[in-house]
Structure formats: C-alpha cells, structure tokens
Amino acid sequence: MRLSLLSDLNEERASRRTAVLVTDVASGEQRLVREAEVGSDPLAQELQDSLRQGKSRLVERDGCQFFLNVQTPPMRVVVIGAVHISQALAPMAKGLDLDVTIIDPRTAFATPERFPDVPVLAEWPDTVLPDIGIDPYTAVVALTHDPMIDDPALMAALRSKCFYIGALGSRKTHERRVQSLTASGFTEADLARIHAPIGLDIGAVSPAEISVSILAEIVASLRKERRRSA
C-alpha cells in the first residue's frame, strides 16, 4: 500500500469516518473511497451494499475483480449514569465488541473502582459530549432518572446522527420528558427516535436482565437491515 494511501486511511480511522479500500485484484492498484464519495464511484452499488452489511468482500464488474476492504469505526455505547444497570451493562457490551464510556457528574458513583477497564468521566454530559462526539456509530443510553443529567445528553443525541437513543423510565416519566424536550424545540419526529421505556420488553427486573434487554435493542437497531421481516 502506498504511504499516502495509508496516511489517508489512518486519517479517516482517527476521525471515525467510514472508508473502503478498493483493490483491483489483477493489477494490485488501490484507491480509497471515502463515505461521501461512494455515490460517485464506478462501484457505487457494490460499495453501498458492502457498507450496509459492514463487511469486506470480493466483487466482480465487467470481467474484473475488486476486493472491497470496508473500514468502519468501532461501535460504541455512551452510557449516561454510573448506576447498577451500567455496572452490569458495561462488561456485557464489551463481550459484544462495543466500546463503552460512562458519563456521570456524581463523583460518588463515577469511579474507576465501580467500572474497571471502562472509561469513566465524572463530568456533566453537555460538557464532555462535544469532545467525545456522537456519530452514526454511537448509541446513547440515558439511565440516571434525573432530567438534569439525562436531558442534556438526550438533546445532544437528538441533534446527532447516532444510530440509537434510549432512556430509562416509566411511560409517565417519558411523557414528562417529552414535554420538556418539546418545549426545547424538538419535534414529534425527533422524539420518536428515543426508545422509551428503554430495552426490549422481556419482562426484565434485575440490572443484569435490563442490561440484556437494552443491548438486545441496540443490536436490533444496529442490524435492522438484516433482521427477518415478520
């Protein structure tokens, strides 16, 4: 691989942007196709299919073979709230190859001792989320039950293109949340993006069971194009 091509690929990785390295199998010639360039590429359809599936593959066009090496950012879960559910969810998420970050301004809860091997930020969400960035490969999970902590995070998520937003709380709690977010200028279509009550309805009770339901819903959102139709 040419050094300039490797440099460009590393830049896309560092910026958490999707890119596809296209290799002509016969000649060995390579080119990097950034996500914004996919529609104008001669292999547009093949590239779009590969990106949708998130898989590298060999394709053929006009008698020529090309290997499409798909580079996508690691999927991550930003958890608002260093609570018991978060403690159960973090190791499960890592088992699914999801990067996890915990955010909670309450320093008594947001400690490395309670969340070993997981980044824990004892800061207000609206302070740190701009630095972290919320992109299409991010799920935002609000678990504190405290609108002063959860709502700023939900606002940031709603303004982003993240693939999943979930919030803990009863239906009545969510109704109050919707009223507050509506007053802040969000539309009905915006608020429909929030999964609330959070998680698939499996009758979960314990923190571990609730974590399973949340992660199942996140995976379902991530893999929605591969799910069987009813």
Question: Does 204 lie in the same domain as 187?
Answer: yes
Work out how many domains the chain is built from and give that number.
2
Question: Does 153 lie in the same domain as 183?
Answer: yes
More confident residue, 12 or 204: 204
How far apart are the C-alpha atoms of 60 and 58, rounded to whole Å? 7
| Span 86-100, pLDDT tens digits | 999 999 999 999 999
**Residue 161: HSE in the Cβ half-sphere, 13 Å Cα cutoff:** 4
What pLDDT score was predicted for residue 85? 97
The domain that holds 188 is classified in CATH as 3.40.50.720
Question: Does 147 lie in the same domain as 175?
Answer: yes
Q: Count Cβ atoms below 10 Å from residue 185 Cβ, excluding itself.
A: 9
Question: Does 81 lie in the same domain as 66?
Answer: no
The beta strands (E) that lie in the chain are given as 19-24, 30-34, 57-61, 64-71, 76-80, 99-103, 120-121, 138-142, 164-167, 194-195
Does residue 53 sit in helix, strand or coil?
helix
What pLDDT score was predicted for residue 153? 97
Which among 15, 47, 71 is the end of a domain? 71
| Span 188-216, pLDDT tens digits | 999 999 999 999 999 999 999 999 999 99
| Span 25-38, pLDDT tens digits | 999 999 999 988 99
Backbone angles phi, psi at 151, to 5 degrees: -60, -45
What pLDDT score was predicted for residue 230? 42
Which among 55, 71, 87 is the end of a domain? 71
Does residue 147 sit in helix, strand or coil?
helix
Question: Does 202 lie in the same domain as 106?
Answer: yes
Lowest mean pLDDT, pick from 10-24, 174-188, 207-221: 10-24
Q: Which of 102, 30, 42 is nearest to 71 (CA)?
A: 30
Question: Does 24 lie in the same domain as 96?
Answer: no
Question: Does 98 lie in the same domain as 50?
Answer: no
Which among 15, 43, 71 is the end of a domain? 71
Q: Which of 91, 102, 52, 99 is nearest to 222 (CA)?
A: 52
Q: Domain range spanning residue 124? A: 76-226
Two tokens at 218?
């996140």
Question: Does 127 lie in the same domain as 89?
Answer: yes
Q: Which residues are CB-neighbours of 14 under 8 A, at least 6 positions away?
A: none
* Residue % of the chain over a pLDDT of 70: 97
* Residue % of the chain over a pLDDT of 90: 79
Mean pLDDT of the chain: 92
